[in-house]
Structure 1
Amino acid sequence: MSGREGGKKKPLKAPKKDSREMDDEDLARKQKQKEDQKAMEAMKAKAQKGPLIGGGIKKSGKK
């Protein structure tokens, strides 16, 4: 009687799934995601070009 025989047995490893074929819908979705990513990067770059100082409420300095 060995100590390893008792208890649960480990399940066998599942075989790796084959990469499925890309449909026209999948290709279109990936293309749209790439375009959206490029648009977001362009908007981020455009937003960072503006002045960072001068926003908010300006105080007159009088007390």
Structure 2
Amino acid sequence: MSSKQGGKAKPLKQPKSDKKEYDEVDLANLQKKKEEEKALKELRAKAQKGPVGGAGLKKSGKK
């Protein structure tokens, strides 16, 4: 029983899924979701600007 099959077998390709057709309600929901995500990204970008932690590195009083 000699075979030239070594290593893992390749997984079978899955058939391509058909493109979904959206109605007006679905499109409105998708658009709203994209706008909310965009607003969240902007808020996160604003929140990361400026000093983090306030005072920065603390120095010890010892010399």
Deviates more, 1:29-38 or 1:17-26: 17-26
Q: Which amino acid aligns with 2:43?
A: M
- Quote the sequence identity (%): 55
TM-score, length of structure 1 as denominator length: 0.53
Unaligned runs of 5+ residues in structure 1 are 1-14, 56-60
Runs of 4+ displaced beyond 3 Å: 15-20
Deviation at 1:17, TM superposition (A): 6.2
Q: Which runs of 5+ in 2 are unaligned?
A: 1-14, 56-60
Q: Which has the larger radius of gyration?
A: 1
TM-score calculated relative to the size of structure 2: 0.53
Map residues 10-49 of structure 1 onto 2, 5 A cutoff: 18-49=18-49
Aligned residues: 42
Q: 1:18 to 1:51 in 2, by over 3 A?
A: same
